[in-house]
Copies of this chain bind each other. A is one copy, B any other.
């Protein structure tokens, strides 16, 4: 029997309690280990809740219980979550989490503490929700050199883009609906401005390169500037607009970016709609493989956390470690990267645009009063300079990752 304590009885924490309870028999059968939730730490009481009697308010009730084998941290944030995780690991207790903010901020330090104390710190659910992407990278694609990863890493923004495209609606309108439905947070910035995806691609890039890719060095652009008409142009171009997190291994270090891209309809990522996530991995022998599933939601995320619980219950500190060093990875200067851009300028700027952006390709106008085109391949820096020179750029979306 392995005893699990859950820190934080919110959406994911209560989902983990549910998964471990409903699937207890299946887990015992599959893994040979019986797993039981013994404590749930939360500031609140939950009168009438099925787990009411397991609620504790003091972290020491968890840490000082000699029976605690595994701590599940589903509090979120980098404050108390960090302190409690560190304390648990230092006590020789394995920890798993869905907290991408903490992993992105303190991953190497916490993994090192875990290793020093003979335990493990796992965080499968921190990236891709129910998609087991960390295990795939760590234990499945072991014979490949991973050269790149491209993913739809945030369900909220993919839901918003899908609704804008299919229903022709404005960003703010769809965002409000998503908030009302509970798909988006009241403060939507982490999602819509791309910071959530930036943390996730930084975690993936760190795992693959073995060095810490600082999420704050990821070039990050969100979706709030995307307009309904952009999807009409995309349709003409047989492309779709997706917020992607991208990593490429380059001789100069890690290329990491989060941005909306217009990708060809033939790209498997272009077909991922709504709250689903998908992560495409480029291996030097395997070629492209893609992993698709629910990127968020209580039970999918809780399922991923629970898979970590099972791993820790069976193997304790002896199983596979996710690890990367605390040394910062070199990150490519985004302004030097080269690509084509889809650009909209006001009609009166057309001649200027033709002069400054040579060799452009016009895109059949969906709106009067503007001129839309695709640039030749150019650096970000050159694009910004050209756009400033002519002025009147209404919008631009990157084509090439």
Residues in B neighbouring A27, C-beta threshold 8 A: 142-143
The CA-CA distance from A306 to B285 in the complex, in Å, is 10
Q: How far is the CB of A394 from chain B (nearest CB, A)?
A: 32
Contacts of A303 in B (CB 8 A): 141, 143-144, 283, 285-286
Please, how many angstroms separate the alpha-carbon atoms of A19 and B132 in the complex? Answer: 24
Binary CB contact string for chain A from 275 to 294 against chain B (1 if under 8 A, 0 otherwise)? 00000000111111111111
Contact B131 A289 (CB under 8 A): yes
Counting CB contacts under 8 A, is A300 at the interface? yes
The residues of B that contact A297 with a CB separation of less than 8 Å are 287
> Closest residue to A29 on the B side, CB-wise?
B210
Interface size class of A (residues with CB under 8 A): 35 or more
Q: How many Å lie between the Cα of A302 and that of B300 in the bound state?
A: 32
A22, A29, A124, A144 interface centre (most CB from chain B within 10 Å): A144
Report the bound CA distance from A293 to B140 in whole Å: 13
Q: How far is the CA of A284 from the CA of B142 in the complex (A)?
A: 28
Partner of A299, one of B130, B135, B141, B287: B287
Within 8 A of B (CB), among A299-315: 299-300, 302-304, 306-307, 309-311
User: Contact at A140–B130, with CB atoms within 8 Å?
Assistant: no
Q: A30 in the interface, Cβ–Cβ < 8 Å?
A: yes
Task: Check B299 against A23 for contact (C-beta < 8 Å).
Answer: no
Q: A26 an interface residue at 8 Å Cβ cutoff?
A: yes
Chain A residues 135 to 194 lying within 8 A of chain B, measured CB to CB, are 135-136, 139-145
- Whether B290 contacts A293 by the Cβ 8 Å rule is yes
Interchain residue pairs with CB less than 8 A apart (29):
A19-B143, A20-B143, A23-B284, A29-B210, A124-B140, A130-B283, A130-B287, A130-B289, A131-B289, A132-B136, A135-B139, A135-B140, A136-B140, A139-B311, A140-B307, A141-B303, A142-B307, A142-B310, A271-B271, A283-B303, A285-B302, A286-B300, A287-B294, A287-B300, A288-B293, A289-B291, A290-B292, A290-B293, A291-B292
